Amino acid sequence: MSSVFAGRVAVGLALGTVLVAGCARFDESASSPFTTEPSLGGSNAEPKKPQDSPSEVPRPTGPCIDPDPNVIATCLDSAAGLIPVGDGALVAERRTGRILQVTPVDASTPQETPVEVASVAVDGSGDGGISDIVLSPTFGEDGLMYAYITTGSDNRVVRLSKNGGAPKEILTGIPKGATGNRGAIEWATPTQLLVLTGDAGNPGAAADPGSLGGKVLRLESPSSGANIPQVVASGIGSAGDLCRDGKDGMWVTDRTAAEDRLQHLGADGTLTVSWTWPDRPGVGGCTATGDGVAVALGAGKALAAVGADPNTFAVSTAPTLIAQDKYGRLLGASASADGSVWVTTTNKTDGEPGEFDDRVVRIPPPQGGAGGPD
């Protein structure tokens, strides 16, 4: 992993977390593989500035419009990975295989109308489907994106185009099981794609050098066609997410039978455990912060803000829980340009769905204590 990202224009500034006297504050910092900021097209509107509060924007009423001003999109199928872009985001529906463009609802958009940007056939049974999406580092020029999906026979990485067309196979043959099919993808450099694979319900796969399961893999120039994966790290349980740490490494979340884990992957390939949750709150998506990482919790129904030593990435203080029990089970997490974290919910398949589930929610910096915004 390289520091070539420094100085590049980011898609969205990541959310920093400083834990002081039991309170959390989000700062901006992170890197991105994009040489130019991508645009979804169809709008020349500038992103809202951080000081623009959603509560100050007139909120319309109607079907599938949550009265909560921090809810970006509603009435989705079980949502997974997402990518904030401009004022909106691309979000994957896990079971349908659709990738939707969603934008905040206000008085000028009287009803939320997600636009299908791309789709791919998936096996959405169990925890399978489409787990994660990333944009090509040159998305502005080629309109390409990558997805981690489950098919009838395996888990795999494919390349999609917002202009349509059949998906291109990038990496196939990742083991599939009744559970443990979730995976994640993230750029380490503009030419290196890291792939986090689950153990497919077989813990032995993580230690088996002949299996692609339970690993962190590296693909060099994934669109070149010569996609021979290199094993970066082993020992992964049920995969959560993979996200850059704002420097040269990566944060990794996964779940085992004994505990949920937050691990750090160093630039030298060393994987170390930074924090564990024996109560297994269901760690999912993560996004790097200035002083650690924010982790979406499923069973925990919260966003965990984890502070870490900036040099060793060790965690010594219990995570701060934000927006706990407010939106139900969370899965995807990504930092937005306005200094907030956008998350997806999975209440339709894993929880107790409400009228507006499933949703994309903007979780702003908390105003004081660990409970997060009211």
Domain locations in the chain? 15-41+59-363
Q: What are phi and psi of 80, to 5 degrees?
A: -130, -120
Distance CA 49, CA 212 (A): 43
User: What local confidence, expressed as pLDDT, does residue 356 receive?
Assistant: 93
From residue 179, alpha-carbon distances to 126, 176, 188 in Å are: 6, 8, 27
CB 286 within 8 A of CB 241: yes
Task: Flag whether pLDDT at 313 surpasses 50.
Answer: yes
Q: What is the mean pLDDT of residues 4-32?
A: 32
- The string of pLDDT tens digits covering residues 51-66 is 445 555 566 666 788 9
Q: Which two tokens stand for residue 235?
A: 């020992």
Task: Flag whether pLDDT at 19 surpasses 70.
Answer: no
Which of the given ranges, 36-40, 70-74, 348-352, has the highest pLDDT on average? Answer: 70-74
What DSSP assignment string belongs to 317-328? SPPEEESTTTS-
Q: Which two tokens stand for residue 1?
A: 């992993």
Q: Which two tokens stand for residue 16?
A: 């920093």
Q: What is the mean pLDDT of residues 362-371?
A: 61
Task: Flag whether pLDDT at 251 surpasses 90.
Answer: yes
CB 301 within 8 A of CB 363: no
Dihedral angle sign, alpha carbons of residues 196, 162, 350, 289: positive
Q: What is the mean pLDDT of residues 152-159?
A: 97
- The string of pLDDT tens digits covering residues 190-244 is 999 999 999 999 999 999 999 999 999 999 989 876 779 999 999 999 999 999 9
**Burial state string for 155-177 with b = 16 or more CB within 10 A and e = fewer than 16:** bbbbbbbbeeeebeebbeebbbb
Task: Flag whether pLDDT at 287 surpasses 90.
Answer: yes
Omega before 358 cis (within 30°)?
A: yes
Q: Which two tokens stand for residue 327?
A: 């939106």
For the ranges 31-35, 42-46, 128-132, 249-253, which has the lowest average pLDDT?
42-46
For the ranges 73-77, 272-276, 362-366, which has the lowest average pLDDT?
362-366
Q: What strands, in cross-sheet order, belong to the sheet with 238-244?
A: 238-244, 250-255, 260-265, 271-277
Instruction: Look over the chain and give the mean of its residue pLDDT values, rounded to a whole number.
Output: 83
Distance CA 71, CA 360 (A): 6
The confidence band for 112, taking pLDDT boundaries of 50, 70 and 90, is: low
Dihedral angle sign, alpha carbons of residues 216, 268, 1, 16: positive
Distance CA 299, CA 351 (A): 8
The confidence band for 33, taking pLDDT boundaries of 50, 70 and 90, is: low
From residue 70, alpha-carbon distances to 54, 206, 341 in Å are: 6, 39, 11
The confidence band for 25, taking pLDDT boundaries of 50, 70 and 90, is: very low
Q: What is the mean pLDDT of residues 106-134?
A: 85
Whole-number percent of the chain with pLDDT over 90: 65
For the ranges 67-71, 103-107, 155-159, which has the lowest average pLDDT?
103-107
CB 29 within 8 A of CB 334: no
Distance CA 63, CA 78 (A): 18
CB 332 within 8 A of CB 285: yes
Q: Which two tokens stand for residue 279?
A: 């109560």
Q: What is the mean pLDDT of residues 314-340?
A: 93
Whole-number percent of the chain with pLDDT over 70: 78
User: What local confidence, expressed as pLDDT, does residue 65 receive?
Assistant: 86
From residue 203, alpha-carbon distances to 72, 163, 366 in Å are: 37, 39, 38
For the ranges 1-5, 96-100, 328-332, 359-363, which has the lowest average pLDDT?
1-5
- With H, G, I as helix, E, B as strand and everything else as coil, classify residue 49: coil
Q: What is the mean pLDDT of residues 253-281?
A: 96
The confidence band for 156, taking pLDDT boundaries of 50, 70 and 90, is: very high
The confidence band for 7, taking pLDDT boundaries of 50, 70 and 90, is: very low
Task: Flag whether pLDDT at 157 surpasses 80.
Answer: yes
Q: What is the mean pLDDT of residues 324-347?
A: 93
Domain 15-41+59-363 is in which class? mainly beta
The confidence band for 13, taking pLDDT boundaries of 50, 70 and 90, is: very low
228 burial via Cβ count (<10 Å: 0-12, 13-18, 19+): exposed
